[in-house]
Structure 1
Amino acid sequence: MKKLIIIGGFGNGTVVQSTVEDINEVIPQWEILGFLNDREIGSINGYPIIGKITKEVVDQYLKDEDVYFFYSLISVKLNFNFLHKLTDLEIPLERFATIIHPTAVVSKYSKIGYGVCIQPFVSIGPNTTIGNFIHIFAQSLIGHGASLDDYSYVANNACIGADVHLKEGAYLGTNATTLEFVSLGKWSITGIGAVVLKDVEDYAKVVGNPARKIGEVSR
């Protein structure tokens, strides 16, 4: 089996861990070596914390070609201001694992990048493009022809219409819905249950039905 190190911990990291366990119950594919985490000590859900999130620790594991990484530290709070925690590690892109839950339905005509986690019962339509370092949470729907740029984030039960474009780091909240052909700007935040009928500006925060701008992400 391939070996996996999850960068992160409680929260998105444990969601990834749970998804990997579900994959292994169907066909064993991954051996989870443990977590890299700066705050916790000991173990997380029975898996050891094998070091802090540093290039020195990562470099030791990169020597083993069977070791892959998953970077889980992307969220509405951990945005572009924290990307240096990833880029400073200098991990080759091809050494990031993409994790797809066995219940997800992913069109064979879609393109999926590196460091992507697709959670239970997600549906991804044909001719979609999913970039790198993207979280797509349970029961979300990605319409045909949609494009999700690097670091974008789709919370559970969100619905992305056909040919929608999530630009770099765009965040789509739980139960949010978009009309087809709209775009969500770079590092924008679309709140819980929002209904997006028109383009969202870069760094904008929008909520409501129809979605309206209420502020901007701090830069």
Structure 2
Amino acid sequence: MAKDIFIIGAGTYGAVIADLAEVCGYSVSGFYDDDSSKVGKTILGKRVLGKLDCAKDIHAKANYAVAIGDNSVRILKLKEIIEGNGKIPVLIHPKAEISKYARIGKACIIHALTYIWTEAEIGDFSIVSPEVIVAHHTKVGEGCFIANGCRVGAGINIAERVFIGMGATVMTGVKKIGRDAIIGAGSVVTKDVGTESVVAGVPAKLVRKVDKV
């Protein structure tokens, strides 16, 4: 019998995560979202039941998946759920290829056709999108988001909350991507990227520093 799971985030990515959860053997019981205008609507035939605070009160020990792309917001919501005794299963699509010598952290989401090589590590709360390659001995930090079709070379240390845009390549030989860095879609990174740096282009160059809220 399938286990129930609630999806946090009732946007289009919420539908994607609900689909993945079902493929992983879960039954989606509904969605929660902090946008009250979405309450009562349906996604893939499942209702948006309320705001996140309602979920924590009603379903304290339930399974959840957080469908939020923004790394900082996703980490915050995941930690709120864990502090409320909610459970966050790792969701790995059955068509992902993961070495038995790789390490996947807590509450990660790994989509289809992704290949994670020998002794690569994916940190807690990270999302790896479809058709991504993470090569051997690369360490992806907590709360990162790697978008569709990225290629990440070997032996790279990627710090926490890094966003790697669609189709970007981080070449083997790069040693470190600093925390909260953003790599633009289609970029080719050939050298280290600093903390809170936005880089883009071929080869990738510094565009600006991340705006602090």
* Length-normalised TM-score, structure 2: 0.89
Match in the other structure for 2:194 = 201
TM superposition shift of 1:196: 0.7
2:31 counterpart (35, 50, 54) = 35
Match in the other structure for 2:162 = 170
Find out whether 1:210 has 2:203 as its counterpart.
Answer: yes
- Change in Cα spacing, 1:89 to 1:105, as seen in structure 2 (3 Å) is closer
TM superposition shift of 1:151: 0.8
* Secondary structure at the counterpart of residue 175 of structure 1: coil
Please list every run of 5 or more consecutive structure 1 residues that lacks an aligned counterpart in the other structure.
24-28
- Change in Cα spacing, 1:81 to 1:97, as seen in structure 2 (3 Å) is closer
Match in the other structure for 1:160 = 152
Counterpart code for 2:29: L
Map 1:65-80; keep pairs closer than 5 Å. 67-73=62-68, 75=69, 78-80=70-72
* Length-normalised TM-score, structure 1: 0.87
Match in the other structure for 1:142 = 134
Runs of 4+ in 1 over 6 A off after TM superposition: none
Counterpart code for 1:34: G
Counterpart code for 1:70: A
TM superposition shift of 1:192: 0.8
Equivalent pair of 1:71/1:133 in contact (CA under 8 Å): no
* Secondary structure at the counterpart of residue 18 of structure 1: helix
Find out whether 1:46 has 2:45 as its counterpart.
Answer: yes
Please list every run of 5 or more consecutive structure 2 residues that lacks an aligned counterpart in the other structure.
none
* Secondary structure at the counterpart of residue 208 of structure 2: strand
Counterpart code for 1:142: V
* Secondary structure at the counterpart of residue 194 of structure 2: coil
Equivalent pair of 1:93/1:114 in contact (CA under 8 Å): no
Match in the other structure for 2:116 = 124
Counterpart code for 2:88: F
User: Counterparts of 1:118 and 1:85 in 2: how far apart (Å)?
Assistant: 18
* Secondary structure at the counterpart of residue 138 of structure 1: coil
Match in the other structure for 2:56 = 58
Counterpart code for 2:51: K
TM superposition shift of 1:97: 1.3
User: Counterparts of 2:89 and 2:135 in 1: how far apart (Å)?
Assistant: 24
Counterpart code for 2:66: Y
